[in-house]
Structure 1
Amino acid sequence: MSPALPTPPIRLDGPAVEPVSLAEMRLDLRLDPDDTAEDGLVAALLAAARARIEAETRRILVPGRFRLVLPAWPSEGGLTLPLAPVVAIEAANLLARDGTATALPVGLLRLGPDRVEAPVLLVEGSPPPLLGRSLALELGAGHGGAGPPVPPPILLAIRRLAALWFEHRGDEPAGGLPPDAAALVAPYRRLTL
């Protein structure tokens, strides 16, 4: 079989809770507890900092459901998924061009043993022929919730990045992460080819 190159994953639900709370960030910034005028800005900076750290580490830092569509079955060695960490395969369907979906038997697909650093999709037994259909997966993925907790250095990097942006709002941002945040997340960066 040829390797199956998936479409980019699509998040089916938005982040329910950011890994760093507004209350935690307000304490870090030493904001007056009675003045909530900056709360909208601080919440937006936290979301932006989390997204930036996600992009840098290639990890999902809040749990969610994602759709991934494959044009072919994974090869014998499996397919390394473009999401990490992956918690579960929640649904697997064969998707026809007209949009109709046919559910696949439970147990036909499984995840390899390393679901955090290099999640791999494996096929058990003989899969049915695709016959012009695609393999559509819904995956539970992300740190928190049923997944592993967000590593403390990543939480610290989010707080430091949000604090930097708060203190220097209006200034032109420098390219890349600041050195302290980059050093904190470097050990957690997933490498891909």
Structure 2
Amino acid sequence: MTLIRTVAPTAEPVTLVDAKAHLRVTHTSEDGLISGLIRAAREDVERATGMALIDQTWRLVLDRWPADNFVMLMRHPVRQVLSVTIFGSEGAASIVNPADYQLDMLSRPARIHFDRAPERLRVMNGVEIDFRTGFGEAGTDVPDLLKRAVLLLVAHWYDFRTSFGPDDQPVSYPGGYDRLLAGYRMWRL
């Protein structure tokens, strides 16, 4: 199973203006740094929670068809399955008809149930599922606690940027960061 982001988000959950207000920075000389910290903090929150904050497109690539005809989509929240492509043993691609599967977007992880398995797939990367995930196209669609976690990381990394070299980053995580993300993490048993 391989998960690849095919279309990155076009916005960030926190604007540069919001981050600068949070940091109490009024000059523009560090706008590039702060913008980079916002992007890095969003990516860290997404990694830690298994979520996509702003709309983006992902591709799940599978070697084998699942024995129970269920596929789990390990990014949340899933908004739409764009396509399911299967590659036959000779390499020919065919699109699975959306009427032949059901999407459960309420579960976490979201899951797709297929009515039937294909005949034969190529040995590697025989199934590709493209899907759109995220809370929406703008930062206003993202839950407040997740935006607060991004701001907390931005402020922490901004404060510690000169104490350690770039290769040492991120040095640490701020107190309270885990509590902000706790309700959004997908716990494993």
Q: TM-score, normalised by structure 1?
A: 0.83
Aligned 1:6-85 pairs, distance under 5 A? 6-7=1-2, 9-32=3-26, 35-76=27-68, 78-85=70-77
SS at match of 1:160: helix
Aligned residues: 182
| Residues 97 and 12 of structure 1: CA distance in aligned 2, closer, same or farther (over 3 Å) | farther
1:112 CA displacement? 1.5
- The range that moved more, 158-167 or 170-179, is 170-179
Name 2:114's counterpart in structure 1. 123
1:123-177 C-alpha deviation (Å, 9 max, x unpaired):
12x233134261111111122239x932211110100110111122122357653
1:53 CA displacement? 1.2
1:81 CA displacement? 1.9
The one-letter amino acid of 1:24's match is: D
Name 1:151's counterpart in structure 2. 143
Q: In angstroms, what is the RMSD of aligned CA positions?
A: 2.4
Say if 2:173 is the partner of 1:183: no
Q: Distance in 2 between the 1:169 and 1:97 partners? A: 52
Name 2:163's counterpart in structure 1. 171
Identity of aligned residues (%): 29
Name 1:132's counterpart in structure 2. 122
SS at match of 1:187: coil
Q: Distance in 1 between the 2:170 and 2:5 partners? A: 29
| Residues 184 and 13 of structure 1: CA distance in aligned 2, closer, same or farther (over 3 Å) | same
**Structure 2 stretches lacking a partner, 5+ long:** none
The one-letter amino acid of 1:30's match is: R
| Residues 160 and 98 of structure 1: CA distance in aligned 2, closer, same or farther (over 3 Å) | farther
- The range that moved more, 9-18 or 166-175, is 166-175
Q: Which residue, 100, 103, 126 being the options, matches 1:108?
A: 100
